[in-house]
Chain A
Amino acid sequence: MADPLVLGIETSCDETGIALVRGNELLVDAVASSMDEHARYGGIIPEVASRAHLEAMVPTIQRALGEADVDLSEVDAIAVTAGPGLVGPLTIGASAAKALSIGLNRPLYGVNHVIGHAAVDQLVEGPFPERTMALVVSGGHSSLLLVEDVATRVTELGSTLDDAAGEAFDKVGRLLGLPYPGGPHVDRLAREGDPHAIRFPRGLTARKDQEKHAYDFSFSGLKTAVARWVEARTDVGQEIPLADVAASFAEAVADVLTAKTIAACHRHDVDTLVVGGGFSANSQLREMAAKRCAEAGINLRIPPIRYCTDNGAMIAALGSAVVRAGVAPSALDIPVDSSMPLTTVTV
């Protein structure tokens, strides 16, 4: 029998994502974004995003169905982001998913957005091996997950204690006078600089942190160090070597992320690493991960960038895995959870 056709709905932040997945095959991935409306505020405005989700929901579903030439009646299950994310936006997706579940008389699965960032890679490179390490790095998260079964067994080994990697890049971008969101701009600038020009601190790598925070991250100290360095230069009237600052900062982030991740792979005897989330677009991280994984004999899987940002495909991919694993559907009264634990795959 053919695998079930799963419709995925993602609305945790500013992207309305709708996708259709059968097994590990992506049929369509439609996204509507309200990013442009937020750019002038220098951050996501939840109410602006929520209004946009309401208006985009039905048109985006229709666009996805049209592009895939699929009728809603063919859908076997509905998966939706239940958290983590912004409550207002999450609520729109969850409500739409429940309505589809009632209207189509098909089961509903509320799933975890962050785990979706890892699961989407199954659409690209096929099923995960029995044990997979997932590094999910985005605007809101920097987490290391041990994935024994993406539908049922995910363990959180560590997370950022303060800023996420993308967030740190955005803040440093602002500091260096780059447009919002700063991440991609810092990346571009860093490619022209010397990554070893300035030695910025590596958070939570000191011996004393190794015990409790072996796989946790901290980027706020790094951000402060960059700010101080820039300030000190400015005070004495020296020019700021922007590219070198960006490159040295990016190097520090990539160094900590990859070093801890590879240590975790060794420690847990895992030979496959999946990197997901919008920050995995970062070229310094990609380069260093590729080099260090090759040295360590770890199979590195990073999906193409369009799958790394928020989209419906990641939710449909996780939903598809969950349905095939025979997990019980969610009830119609499930809440959304802005701070859903990363060990919770489904609700």
Chain B
Amino acid sequence: MPVLALDTSAAVAVALVGEDGARLASRTSDERRRHAESLAPLIAEVLAEAGVDRADLTAVVAGTGPAPFTGLRVGLVTARTLALALGIPVLGVPSLDALAVQAVSDLGLQPGDEVLATSDARRREVYWARYRVVAHEGAGGVPVVETVAGPDVARAGFVAQAQLGEGTSEAAGTAAVHVVGEGAMLYPDFLPVAEDAPLVPDATVLARIALVRRAQGLDQPSEPLYLRRPDVQEPVGRVVPATGASA
């Protein structure tokens, strides 16, 4: 009995994943400003490709960010409404968790190693969270990480200083902090990205994390991680076409 996972924190990623964590089908789109157009067709495609009846889904997994607001909401409202239509639960997983977990496998990280996962927050800032590797392979073969700082949003230089600079674990003599995610790619001077590092969350990984957490009976809320207040300086008249404060 598969789950459908989707993430709209960066581009659009959709995957259909079996109870055992096996990927049945997946799709991505690199479209950054048209999440609402891309997402639904990709969901229909993965269901069709895997020959899965939508009524057989047991949960909808959604990346909860942090991410630019408009795209993030497309994923969350889609997940919640689809789950309502199918009478199944929504499982929320922070999108940066998926990056960190994938980094453990991709970079061959070991317990005690650390990951700084980043994404593009626009406005010359990055969303970030720092993780410590707990196990290279945990339940169901999925790496286990724990959050040690963040998630938060800040300038890359500030993040580098606070998370990679002196006084952090590196200076304390433990393992290095591996920087991953496309947020860091934008600011290589401050945040050098590890070679072979994952850049955007993978929906299959997102699903695997949710399956493990579900088996552990953990609460997985689908509340968006905005991390910023709405911009309120400029109320629009009324129906002035505006993209609004989409981060």
Of the residues A54, A72, A91, A339, contact of B36 by C-beta under 8 Å = A91
Q: Are B232 and A139 in contact (CB under 8 A)?
A: no
Of the residues B43, B69, B239, contact of A84 by C-beta under 8 Å = B239
Q: Which residues of B113-142 have CB atoms within 8 Å of chain A's CB atoms?
A: none
Q: Is B230 an interface residue when CB atoms closer than 8 A count as contact?
A: yes
Q: Are A141 and B77 in contact (CB under 8 A)?
A: no
Residues of B near A164 (CB, < 8 A) are 238-239
- Known contacts A87-B243, A95-B40, A335-B36; A103 and B81 CB within 8 A of each other: yes
Q: Which residues of B40-62 have CB atoms within 8 Å of chain A's CB atoms?
A: 40-41, 43-44, 47, 54
Q: Are B54 and A103 in contact (CB under 8 A)?
A: yes
Q: Are A46 and B242 in contact (CB under 8 A)?
A: yes
A338 to B243, CA, bound (A): 9
Stretch from B82-90, B153-161, B189-197 that touches the partner: B82-90
CB closest chain-A residue, reference B238 = A139
- Known contacts A58-B80, A99-B82, A103-B86; A88 and B244 CB within 8 A of each other: yes
A332 to B81, CA, bound (A): 15
Q: Which residues of A42-56 have CB atoms within 8 Å of chain B's CB atoms?
A: 42-48, 50-51, 53-54
Q: Is B66 an interface residue when CB atoms closer than 8 A count as contact?
A: no
CB closest chain-B residue, reference A65 = B84
Q: Are B241 and A87 in contact (CB under 8 A)?
A: yes
Q: How far is the CB of B231 from chain A (nearest CB, A)?
A: 6
Most A CB within 10 A of own CB, among B84, B239, B245: B239
Total interface residues on A, using CB and 8 Å?
Answer: 54
- Known contacts A88-B246, A91-B70, A95-B74; A44 and B81 CB within 8 A of each other: no
A334 to B74, CA, bound (A): 14
Residues of A near B81 (CB, < 8 A) are 57-58, 61, 95-96, 99-100, 103
Q: How far is the CB of B222 from chain A (nearest CB, A)?
A: 10
- Known contacts A48-B230, A100-B81; A167 and B242 CB within 8 A of each other: no
Q: Is B172 an interface residue when CB atoms closer than 8 A count as contact?
A: no
Q: How far is the CB of B83 from chain A (nearest CB, A)?
A: 8
Q: Are A54 and B76 in contact (CB under 8 A)?
A: yes
Residues of B near A100 (CB, < 8 A) are 81-82, 85
- Known contacts A99-B81, A100-B85; A50 and B40 CB within 8 A of each other: no
- Known contacts A51-B230, A54-B76, A86-B244; A332 and B44 CB within 8 A of each other: yes
Residues of B near A166 (CB, < 8 A) are 238
Residues of B near A139 (CB, < 8 A) are 238-239
Residues of A near B240 (CB, < 8 A) are 86
Total interface residues on B, using CB and 8 Å?
Answer: 42
Q: Is B78 an interface residue when CB atoms closer than 8 A count as contact?
A: yes
- Known contacts A54-B224, A98-B78; A335 and B37 CB within 8 A of each other: yes
Q: Is B220 an interface residue when CB atoms closer than 8 A count as contact?
A: no
Q: How far is the CB of A141 from chain B (nearest CB, A)?
A: 7
Q: Is B167 an interface residue when CB atoms closer than 8 A count as contact?
A: no
Of the residues A95, A104, A338, contact of B39 by C-beta under 8 Å = A95
Q: Are B69 and A38 in contact (CB under 8 A)?
A: no
Q: Are A50 and B242 in contact (CB under 8 A)?
A: no
Q: Are B243 and A333 in contact (CB under 8 A)?
A: no
Residues of A near B242 (CB, < 8 A) are 46, 86-87, 338
Q: Are B36 and A46 in contact (CB under 8 A)?
A: no
Q: Are A336 and B36 in contact (CB under 8 A)?
A: yes
Q: Are A72 and B238 in contact (CB under 8 A)?
A: no
Q: How far is the CB of B165 from chain A (nearest CB, A)?
A: 33
Q: Are B241 and A338 in contact (CB under 8 A)?
A: yes
Q: How far is the CB of B228 from chain A (nearest CB, A)?
A: 9
Q: How far is the CB of A59 from chain B (nearest CB, A)?
A: 10
Q: Is A62 an interface residue when CB atoms closer than 8 A count as contact?
A: yes
A57 to B230, CA, bound (A): 19
- Known contacts A41-B232, A45-B232, A51-B230; A95 and B239 CB within 8 A of each other: no
Task: Convert B208-247 into 0s and 1s, putting 1 for each residue whose CB lies closer than 8 angstroms to a CB of A.
Answer: 0000000000000000101000111001111111111110
A46 to B238, CA, bound (A): 10
CB closest chain-A residue, reference B45 = A332
Q: Are B40 and A333 in contact (CB under 8 A)?
A: yes
Q: Are A96 and B77 in contact (CB under 8 A)?
A: yes
Q: Are B236 and A44 in contact (CB under 8 A)?
A: yes
Q: How far is the CB of B42 from chain A (nearest CB, A)?
A: 9
- Known contacts A44-B238, A104-B85, A140-B238; A332 and B40 CB within 8 A of each other: yes
Which residues of B line the A interface, CB within 8 A?
34, 36-41, 43-44, 47, 54, 69-70, 73-74, 76-82, 84-86, 224, 226, 230-232, 235-246
> 9 pairs across A/B with beta carbons < 8 Å?
A13-B238, A43-B237, A51-B69, A72-B85, A86-B244, A331-B41, A333-B38, A333-B41, A338-B241
Known: A46-B236, A53-B77, A336-B36. 13 other contacts (CB 8 A): A13-B238, A47-B69, A57-B77, A57-B80, A62-B84, A100-B82, A100-B85, A101-B40, A103-B84, A138-B238, A166-B238, A335-B34, A339-B241
